[in-house]
């Protein structure tokens, strides 16, 4: 006579095991998808910050004294187009200008990928 332990798994046991395995695999795939999305977003933010830093560095290298104004332009980094907006404003100290640079993927997008605030000193006076 065969005992229950000699017969193997029942169909219900196999189906329950497959269901648990399927749930675990879905959770792993979802986590991997979120990790990929996060990596892409971080990369975009990092590149956008480079665009902003490049704008501020250009002012520093040229030693120009920008007037209070708002300018817009575009830059290409890594084969991708980025749009920047630069707002120059005065400060209580007349020899220092405040520059706020925001960077977006699209000109019409309300989402800012990076924002950098820097200060320039007028070394000519």
Contacts of 59 by beta carbon, 8 Å cutoff, 6+ apart: 66, 99, 120
CATH architecture of 9-121: 2-Layer Sandwich (3.30)
How many other C-beta atoms can be found within 10 angstroms of the C-beta atom of residue 101?
A: 24
**Cα(54)–Cα(86) distance, integer angstroms:** 12
pTM: 0.73
pLDDT given for residue 50 in this prediction? 95
Positive or negative: CA dihedral 29, 33, 39, 42: negative
Taking residues 97-103, what's their average pLDDT?
96
Would you place residue 73 in the very low, low, confident or very high pLDDT band (cuts 50, 70, 90)? very high
Residue corresponding to tokens 């902003």: 52
Name the 3-class secondary structure at 61.
helix
Contacts of 75 by beta carbon, 8 Å cutoff, 6+ apart: 51, 54, 55, 81, 82, 84
Would you list the domain boundaries of the chain?
9-121
Q: 2-16, 20-34, 75-89, 108-122 — which is least confidently predicted?
A: 2-16
pLDDT in tens, 1-11: 555 556 788 99
Averaged pLDDT score across all residues of the chain: 90
């Amino acid at each position: 006579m065969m005992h229950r332990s000699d017969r193997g798994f029942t169909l219900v046991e196999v189906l329950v095991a497959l269901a648990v395995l399927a749930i675990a695999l879905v959770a792993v795939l979802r986590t991997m998808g979120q990790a990929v999305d996060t990596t892409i977003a971080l990369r975009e933010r990092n590149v956008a910050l480079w665009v902003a830093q490049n704008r501020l560095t250009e002012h520093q290298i040229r030693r120009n004294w920008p007037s209070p104004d708002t300018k817009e332009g575009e830059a290409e980094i890594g084969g991708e187009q980025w749009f920047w907006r630069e707002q120059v404003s005065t400060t209580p100290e007349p020899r220092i200008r405040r520059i706020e640079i925001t960077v977006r993927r699209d000109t019409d997008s309300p989402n800012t990928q990076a924002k950098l605030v820097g200060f320039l000193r007028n070394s000519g006076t």
